[in-house]
Structure 1
Amino acid sequence: MTGAALDAHVVVRRHGFELEVQLAAGSGEIVAVMGPSGAGKSTLLAALAGLAHLDGGHVRLDATAVADAAARLHVPPDRRGVVLLGQDPRLFPHLTARENVAFGPRAKGIAKADAHRDADAWLARVGLEGAGERHPARLSGGQQQRVALARALAVEPRVLLLDEPLTSLDVETAADVRALLRAQLAATRATAVVVSHDAADAAALAGRLVVVEAGRTVQAGPVEDVLSAPATRFIAAVAAAHRFDGSI
């Protein structure tokens, strides 16, 4: 699979807060988004996914608009080919791991036997070979997140949105899932937007970093450049760097 090029100018107004961010990603590119709590990161992903309506701007995938405020265009989430994966795996508790992964392809009309065979292949790719018959209650948090990742990739999304998917995991499990994410995103050439508070996530997964504060982009560029020359206190803190304002 190869992801779609993303071109977005997102304007969303909510209860005295305004988010206005421009975001672009080439086909198969991974872009990280960072910012303090309340900066508007999750709202940005919701707008890209179609879960929030735009008050201005547009969202285009491969130059085709899926949202355009001026034209009053809003393509529903299930017709965008965009998948949002967050901290909560949101697995169906009554379905096995195999059935969870096969759910999306089955909804697209894929035959049950084919969808289950492909689901087992995806589970193997994320390190859960032989776990297809287990229900979510019998899986650890890290294993559930692996199943959620397999489910997200199994539908071959045009764009994969990751909203801090590692936050609820312990350090060791998070490192394992981060490595898995890096490998699978590279292997599938998926276009992805990764929201995180962790510089390690940005450095490990993405080529470019966009920093959002108070609803606006304050810095953007290659991950290493942004973290090595932080423009704000927040970025300096994330990069564990010292930043001094002044003149010479």
Structure 2
Amino acid sequence: MASRPSFRDRAVVIRSYDFGEADRVIVLLTKHNGLVRAVAKGVRRAKSRFGSRLQLFVNLDVQLYSGRNLATITQADTVDYFGAQIIDDYDKYTAACVMLEAAERLSLDNDPYLYESVVYTLAKLQSTEKPMLELDTFLLKVMEHAGWAPSLFNCAQCGNPGPHRAFHPAVGGATCNNCRPPGAAEVDPETLHIMWIIANGHTANATVAQAGEAHQLIRAHLQWHLERKVNALSVMDQELK
């Protein structure tokens, strides 16, 4: 977080939790200061000045005052509100929650890419008919930005050109038969091709089975590199079963 006493930034709310009798801690993904944990004082009171703005799926312009452990939010203005088309749609809502949770785990200081990707994907989720595809596109792109992009054609271990029929996060993605480790997933090579298409920003015509398989591979790759579960992904996967 910036060391200067007061600063202004663009931000989206990642999550929040109650603090004291009337306050709330807001976890913000900012454009220029990474992840910022800040107190919104009195926000749980009915007459709070900006309590209704500090919600999920809102793009904010915030003024913050730096503190020893937590910043303090002194002003918050709405730039974009994405919730209207997301909150009442279960699939869009769970996809958006997965995105925010993943963004919290992937956040770096002074890197606007993740913030911009979150805002862009929230806008896309408002109108899409395929929220899981938008989520998977987001996850592939931010993993690439973090240096974790899965190999989707060449063998991740030896570089032998594909297409291949196995995938394992531990070796970095697609793997040939010679390098295939125990527990590798058997995959349709066309699924890996679809993942390459969406990772490069193109539209993929995937079957339901291919989209589901791609989602599971992306999920496994993300959680392997995070070294912990993304809880919202488990909720989404239960609904998909």
TM-score by length of 1: 0.28
Answer with 1 or 2: which has the greater Rg.
Answer: 2
